[in-house]
Amino acid sequence: MSVVASAQVTIQMEKDGGVYKVPCTVNGVKMKFIFDTGASTVCISQNMAQFLLDGDYLSVDDIIGTGQSQVADGSIVNHVEIILRDVEIGGMHLRNVKAIVTEGQNSPLLLGQSAISELGRVTIDGNRLVIHAADNGLTEEEIEKLEQQIDKYLESDSYAAAIECFERIDASVGLTEYGLYELCYCYFQNQQFDQCIQTGNNWIDLYGLKGDKYYKCSVFQYIAGSYRFGKEDIQKALLYYQKALYVSDNEFDDSQIDIFMDIQYSVYYSIGDCYLLLDDLNKALKSYSQAFNSRSAALNVTGDDIKKGKIHDEKLGDCLYSCSAINFRLGDSGLGEYFLTLSAKCGNNDARAFCRELGLRY
């Protein structure tokens, strides 16, 4: 499956207040910019900058300094200089774009040369903006070689090397739906959590309505995991796990039941872990139980099968062991021991060791 996008993009501009504006996505936030070839850089207002900061779309690390600039009437104004980590225009992604925050609270958003020059050759036909991707020296053969290298790097879990190849292709001709999804996955595996969140949100903005459902569930999970492990923001992690769960519940058809049951197990288990971190034991127990039910349904396993020791499954064992631990914490040692022995029957080594310590047969 190709990771390379089209080298030419046509964008329908929108007329607003007598001027045409280009729809863009900045660090995951949808905006509309005036296409201004006379502006030297991208300009955003103080209100927009504050919105980005408040929503964690912009961090204090992205603020790089201050300066002065000349506005249309010739006057000199102070500004703050920032870096926009990702500017998406028509599916093309510009990385680390320099921008300024102007003094005016509601100054217009301007797409200036710091972004336009990176797009390549641009033509305007009425309300249509046509972007011809910049030639950065990569030939078709070089791109094909990079794609082959990506496959090899992914097979050996060399995520940093794969990311470098993805980013070179992205800077040249852009990435497809699949390519952007794979890049999000690589960022997560390489623990580049901020980049994972940005890339995942870009994927959602571009393909959330019409894209591959499996990719969508996975992207939501990568973003959730990035908030959980990278930012320790459990509430946001829960939000994105719930979004993945919604897709698995509502967007898969009957022919994909095995896929969405496996996704549901993974998501329910992760939600249980989050509630456990929040010390909400009852919700954690419910989520682990739902994970157990999803896994049991996927395997067509009954409770009697487990009681009789017919089933050895790591995932079922993990669910049962988590249920056991929570019941012990809730003071119900009877249920704790019951789930512990079932977990041991499924082959969970921790459960077996605990059973031996308690003198329980399984």
What SS3 state is found at 211?
coil
How large is the C-alpha radius of gyration of the chain?
25
Alpha helices in 105-212 (DSSP H): 113-119, 140-155, 159-173, 177-189, 193-207
Residues of the chain with pLDDT under 70: 1-8, 69-77, 104-106, 120, 132-137, 254-255
Q: Residue 205 and residue 200: Cα distance in Å, rounded?
A: 9
Fold assignment, 9-132: Cathepsin D, subunit A; domain 1 (2.40.70)
Cβ(229)–Cβ(193) below 8 Å: yes
Tokens of 78: 């102070």
C-alpha torsion 157→158→159→165, nearest 10: -130
Name the residue ranges covered by the structural domains of the chain: 9-132
**Quick one: how many helices (H) and strands (E) in the chain?**
14, 11
Q: Is 84 exposed, middle or buried (0-12, 13-18, 19+ CB in 10 A)?
A: buried
Strand partners, 83: 98
Total length of the chain: 362
What pLDDT sits at residue 279? 96
Q: Which residues contact 207 (CB under 8 A, 6 or more apart)?
A: 177, 180, 215, 216
Residue 259: exposed, middle, or buried by beta-carbon count in 10 A (0-12, 13-18, 19+)? middle
DSSP state of 57: S
Q: What is the pLDDT of residue 356?
A: 95
Pairing mode, if any, of strands 19-26 and 14-16?
Answer: antiparallel
**How far is the C-alpha of 202 from the C-alpha of 91, rounded, in Å?**
9
The predicted pLDDT at position 136 comes to: 55
CA 203, CA 47: separation in Å to the nearest integer?
26
What is the structure's pLDDT at 40? 80
Give the span between the Cα atoms of 196 and 136, in whole angstroms: 25
Closest CA to 328 of 346, 315, 343: 343
Spacing of C-alpha 312 from chain mean position: 33
- The encoded tokens of residue 224 equal 């959730």
